[in-house]
Amino acid sequence: MPGARRVIKLPFTEKQMQCPHCRATLTIPTVMGTITLSSRRCPKCGKDFVIENDVPRKPDAQMKKPSGSARAARAGKRKSKSGV
């Protein structure tokens, strides 16, 4: 039978965690056995947090998104000094 597809079943689990900001109990649905890295937003306080190896924590300052006024640095063209 060409084109036949095999059904793939993923184990759906719900993990219980607490928001690192407001300590609200959250139910995180996932198909992974361990959440290695995921960014989430608490529905109660609205603050972002990171889940790393099933441990919720506040994001580092380096992980925060830049403000809208921040611009990416662009490399300018260098003029070659060829003595031709």
**pLDDT, tens digit (0-9, with 9 covering 90-100), for 2-50:** 678 888 888 888 999 999 999 999 999 998 888 999 999 999 999 999 9
Q: Helix, strand, coil proportions of the chain in percent (round to 5)?
A: 5, 30, 65
The span from the CA of 20 to the CA of 26, in Å, is 11
pTM recorded for the entire structure:
0.59
What pLDDT does 3 receive? Answer: 72
What pLDDT does 84 receive? Answer: 55
